[in-house]
């Protein structure tokens, strides 16, 4: 076997092992069906939020990576609140909603002010050092994941199909949650997220 073929074989095997273990690196999002990384993060309300603990009582969890300065993420500020309100309608089933800021350029105080200015009805969690974004393989704001009660990734991609919010035709994240809680197979499990890159060190 030539050296080139050996390198290709090693890279292929490494990628297969990473997918099997659920581990990922920036630029390679965790796959559908893989186990979502756990996290315990402090929110803008001062409380600590733990994914595994939330899934003990929730039927699913939505994780959306957000920002304070990204115009794409800011175009969703009102829609984040709408999503938080919409998923409450699934009661008695519950979807936990985690908005996570992983930008190293946006400190917690700035995130708190941003959340207050936009009257967010949910806490935004601070991911220091972008560790959770790295573990999910998240690259953009906004970028969404839906996770089932067993901690498996069900959906990954955009929040909806319109970056400006003026002509939304498909609310991908909400529809994925609705289909899952209705016992249906998610019709579109992956879409392409669009937005600003997460600012890492």
Burial of 152 (0-12, 13-18, 19+ CB in 10 A): middle
Please spell the DSSP secondary structure of 158-189, one letter per residue: -SSS-SSSSS----HHHHHHHHHHTTPPPS--
Residue pLDDT tens, the chain, 201 long: 554 444 334 333 343 333 333 333 345 789 999 999 999 999 999 999 999 999 999 999 999 999 999 999 999 999 999 999 999 999 999 999 999 999 999 999 999 999 999 999 999 999 999 999 999 999 999 999 999 999 999 999 999 999 999 999 999 999 999 999 999 999 999 999 999 999 998
Neighbours of 148 (CB within 10 A): 18
Q: State the virtual CA torsion across 41, 35, 97, 44 in degrees, nearest 10.
A: 10
Q: How many CB atoms lie within 10 A of CB 23?
A: 15
Instruction: Please tell me the CATH superfamily of domain 25-197, with its number.
Output: Glutaredoxin (3.40.30.10)
Q: How far apart are CA 127 and CA 111, in angstroms?
A: 11
- Predicted local distance difference test score (pLDDT) of residue 108: 96
pTM of the model as a whole? 0.86
Separation of alpha carbons 107 and 101, rounded Å:
9
Note the pLDDT of residue 28: 73
- Residues 155, 30: contact at Cβ < 8 Å? no
Alpha helices of 63-149 — where are they, by DSSP H? 71-74, 77-87, 108-117, 131-136
pLDDT of 66: 98
The predicted pLDDT at position 201 comes to 87
Q: What is the rounded CA–CA span in Å between residue 130 and residue 56?
A: 25
Q: Report d(CA 65, CA 98) in Å as an integer.
A: 8
């Amino acid at each position: 076997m030539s050296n080139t073929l050996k390198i290709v074989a090693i890279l292929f095997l490494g990628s297969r092992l990473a997918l099997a273990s659920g581990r990922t690196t920036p630029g390679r999002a965790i796959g559908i069906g893989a186990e979502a990384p756990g996290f315990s993060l402090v929110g803008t309300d001062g409380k600590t939020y733990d994914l595994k603990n939330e899934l003990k009582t929730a039927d699913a969890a939505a994780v959306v990576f957000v920002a304070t300065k990204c115009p794409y993420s800011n175009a969703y500020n009102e829609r984040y609140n709408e999503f938080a309100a919409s998923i409450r309608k699934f009661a008695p089933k519950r979807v936990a909603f985690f908005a996570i800021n992983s930008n190293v350029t946006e400190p917690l105080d700035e995130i708190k002010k941003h959340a207050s200015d936009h009257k967010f009805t949910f806490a935004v969690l601070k991911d220091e050092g972008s560790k959770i974004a790295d573990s999910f393989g998240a690259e953009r704001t906004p970028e969404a994941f839906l996770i089932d009660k067993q901690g498996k990734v069900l959906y990954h991609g955009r929040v909806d199909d319109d970056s400006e919010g003026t002509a939304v035709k498909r609310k991908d994240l909400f529809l994925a949650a609705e289909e899952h809680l209705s016992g249906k197979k998610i019709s579109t499990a992956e879409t392409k997220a669009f937005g600003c890159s997460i600012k890492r060190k």
